[in-house]
Amino acid sequence: MKCVLGIDIGTTGAKALLLSENGDVTASQSVEYPLLTPKPNWAEQNPEDWWEATVSAIRTCLEKTPSNAEIQAVGLTGQMHSSVFLDIDGNVLRPAILWCDQRTESQCQQIIDTVGFEQLISYTSNKALTGFTAPKILWLRENEPEVYAKVHKVLLAKDYIRYKLTGTFATDVSDASGTLLFDVANRGWSDEMLQALEIPRQWLPDCYESTDITGYVSEEAASVLELTRGIPVVGGGSDQAAGAIGNGIIREGLASCVLGTSGVVFWHSDMHVSDAQGRLHSFCHAMPNKWHLMGVTLSAGGSLRWFRDTLCQPEIDTYDTIVAKALKVAPGSEGLIFLPYLAGERTPHTDANARGVFLGLTLRHTKSHMARAVLEGITMSLKDCFELGREFGLAPQKICLSGGGARSEIWQQLTADIFGIEVARIGVDEGPAYGAAILATITAGFYDSVEQACNALISTKDSKLPDPSVAKAYGELYSLYKPLYTTLRDHFERNADFVSLNMQG
């Protein structure tokens, strides 16, 4: 049986997936690893944890698969922006700094001061954000010079796994787009940015299109994983681009909403488009000569996980039970509003100091009210992204919902009611690993193009339309939600100053 292997290095765990030549997912397995928060606003992981989880997930998949399975190619995907620093021997120098880490606010301003805001958009199609790679490199230079002096390569999460698999240093255009060192319009590293920030070009991996072969499984990796040596490994894609491939977002007019640890609204574009104000991300898609626009809520499922772990009993209150209890509360949570800025925020506010808020608490409110308010607040933050897209003429008639939150029909209906459009789900619910596997099918010879593969493999499972009366109520609630950030912005900044002074003391 011929198949391909998709690997996803997510924020909560690694996932491996086997996709057969006839389009069946024959096995999938996820293995979790910890998130480290050694200081306020910091988020780190140990890259070796990624590798150990990957090995475990792949081995388990192979155990679930008939012994005649022949893996023809490997596709990779993973969390964007998360930075791995290697020395000349390929050893990890420090824990990886993740996409949701907020320590680099001053470095972002330094980049703007050095390059200029308009030039920055011209060079990279994006503005400087705390989660991106370039400011993390500057932070390392300023705060850990002894580590910086040993840096030989800077890799993204999935590309560290590529290195462990193949021994090669490579990335793809969709993931490179989120480094702030990449010329998104021309799909190559930006010499102007590297020169301005004094970052050596040789630190960066070679860059490929997502279906290009970047290396082959080495003898050492094959032995550890019990795979055949020499299996080709393709470029793959960022988790959002690969997830969009897995959702069939491959043509103009198509969009998706991802309810994962972060939340993302994603639009396909046949042409390079960027926001002069940098409010929306403009990245290369995981398809040759295609691009995408993206809005991000940093703590989507992350907010629900925080609610479960902090205010519930995780061993009793599963996500399903929390959502079921929330359903018993009327839309609007009786005036309780939640702002999901637990890790700062990106779209549309771009504020590392933004913080989570419950507004409107009364003696009447229960944990169920709070649960519904969390779900509503996350979805309204994503609506902020969706509404921003309308300014660019991005107004799809329906949107494809994916990610862990999409498994809930309640959340699917909630999204339809708050967005005010049809919300569909696809038949295969395997996340970015599925998209990574689809990218590998081209090299495996199963399909001639990404478009052909998606047309053959992806179909809609179900869809929900907005309930007019509920949608009207949510329209009114959104008018209360939307201005809250602006009202609280100065308080967020003062609060951040207080925390900073307190930590120093």
> Average pLDDT for residues 140-147, to the nearest whole number?
98
Note the Cα 332 to chain centre separation in Å.
Answer: 28
Q: Is 219 helix (H, G, I), strand (E, B) or coil?
A: helix
Go through the domains of the chain in sequence order and give each one's CATH number.
2-250 (3.30.420.40)
432 in Cβ contact with 239 (< 8 Å): yes
Secondary structure of the chain: what % helix, strand, coil (to 5)? Answer: 40, 20, 35
Write the pLDDT tens digit of every residue in 452-481. Answer: 999 999 999 999 999 999 999 999 999 999
Asked if the model's pLDDT at residue 172 lies above 50, the reply is yes
Residue 288: pLDDT over 90:
yes
Amino acid letter at 127?
K
Cα–Cα nearest to 438, from 176, 208, 210: 210
Q: What is the pLDDT, as a whole number, of residue 504? A: 56
Task: Provide CB contacts within 8 A for 290, sequence distance 6+.
Answer: 250, 268, 269, 270, 284
As a whole number of angstroms, the distance between CA 255 and CA 30 comes to 26
pLDDT band at 173 (very low <50, low <70, confident <90, very high): very high
- The answer to whether the beta carbons of residues 398 and 423 sit under 8 Å apart is yes
pLDDT(8) > 80: yes
Q: Kind and range of the H or E element at 324? A: helix 319-327
Is the pLDDT at 399 greater than 80, yes or no? Answer: yes
pLDDT tens, residue by residue, 108-135: 999 999 999 999 999 999 999 998 999 9
Beta bridge partners of 7: 16, 76
Q: What is the pLDDT of residue 404?
A: 87
pLDDT at 207 over 70: yes
Backbone angles phi, psi at 175, to 5 degrees: -75, -40
**C-alpha span between 211 and 204 (Å, rounded):** 20
Residue 305 has pLDDT above 60, yes or no: yes
Cα–Cα distance, 337 to 357 (Å, whole number)? 8
pLDDT band at 482 (very low <50, low <70, confident <90, very high): very high
pLDDT of 71 > 60? The answer is yes
Show which residues are catalytic: 239
Q: Where are the beta strands (DSSP E) in 335-407?
A: 337-339, 357-359, 398-402
pLDDT at 505 over 70: no
Q: Over the chain, what is the mean pLDDT? A: 94
Mean pLDDT, residues 317-340? 94
pLDDT on residue 429? 83
Across 77-89, average pLDDT: 97
In the chain, what percentage of residues exceed pLDDT 90? 85
The secondary structure of 128-148 as a DSSP string is --TTSHHHHHHHHHHH-HHHH
pLDDT digits (tens, 9 = 90+) for 38-58: 998 899 999 999 999 999 999
